[in-house]
Amino acid sequence: MRKSLPYEILATISAIVGAGVLVAIYFPILNPGQYRIEAHHEVPSVVFYIVATPFPLLILGAAWYWNRKAQQMKRDEDDDHKPSA
């Protein structure tokens, strides 16, 4: 089994979660009509977006880091398996 597989799984799951949270936060801006129907009130203030946006960005940053680490491990594994000239 490849050593990079857990990092790839972690990167994929965190990227999906981070993207989902980001879309959920910006849902009132992306679809204000549907938001008013479901929530029965107006779009949140700008302060909500300023405070809430760093959380999904942190998750997406972690996904980027873990993906980068997995890719580096893959390269190292491929270099180990190549015959020396």
- For 34-82, the three-class secondary structure string (H helix, E strand, C coil) is HHHHHHCCCCCCHHHHHHHCHHHHHHHHHHHHHHHHHHHHHHHHHHHHC
Mean pLDDT of the chain: 88
| Closest by Cα among 53, 54, 63 to 27 | 53
What are the extents of the domains in the chain? 5-76
- pLDDT (tens digit, 9 = 90+) per residue, 29-67? 888 887 777 777 777 889 999 999 999 999 999 999 999
Is 0.75 topped by the overall pTM?
yes
What average pLDDT does the segment 78-82 reach? 76
